[in-house]
Amino acid sequence: MMDYSWVKALHLIAVMSWMAGLLYLPRLFVYHAQSEIGSVRSETYKLMERRLLKAIMNPAMIASWGFGLWMLHLNPGLLSMPWMWVKITCVIAMTASHMVFARFRRQFEEDTAIRKDKRYRFWNEAPTLLMIIIVIMAVVEPF
């Protein structure tokens, strides 16, 4: 059986990869929204967004959940701590953000996206706020 520390390390690596994508993809949307539909620039953003989501973010999200659940399996006592439930709730919200970003990506791919960069600037902040709460819960364990 794999040592808990190894599972935790792999979980953190997956989370960092996932977060990199969650912070970068909405920034690409901001720039994409400012480009002309059908332009070389717009088509380049489509390629970048698709590769980021499919090759990095989706596998990293799956690995984050997998290693996180594995840690809970190895240490089920964590589920009796209130801070863990706040963390889990925020991870679910992070997953929902990921799904919203996937929908935005599909809209850009189909040239049906709302072309207001402020919309995507707002969404760029959601993963950061959730990450702050998650890290505080996991490190400080405030309650």
Q: How far apart, in whole angstroms, are the C-alpha atoms of residue 16 and residue 137? A: 16
pTM over 0.85: yes
In the prediction, which pLDDT does 84 show? 98
What are the b/e assignments for 26-57, b being 16+ CB within 10 Å?
bebbbebbebeeeeeebeebbeebeebbeebb
Give first-to-last CA distance, the chain, whole Å: 31
Angle at 64 between CA 143 and CA 121, to 5 degrees: 85
Name the DSSP letter for residue 81: S
In the prediction, which pLDDT does 2 show? 75
In the prediction, which pLDDT does 1 show? 61
CA 104 to chain CA centroid, Å, is 14
Instruction: Give the contacts of 138 (CB within 8 A, at least 6 positions apart).
Output: 83, 87
pLDDT in tens, the chain (143 residues): 679 999 999 999 999 999 999 999 999 999 999 999 999 999 999 999 999 999 999 999 999 999 999 999 999 999 999 999 999 999 999 999 999 999 999 999 999 999 899 999 999 999 999 999 999 999 999 99
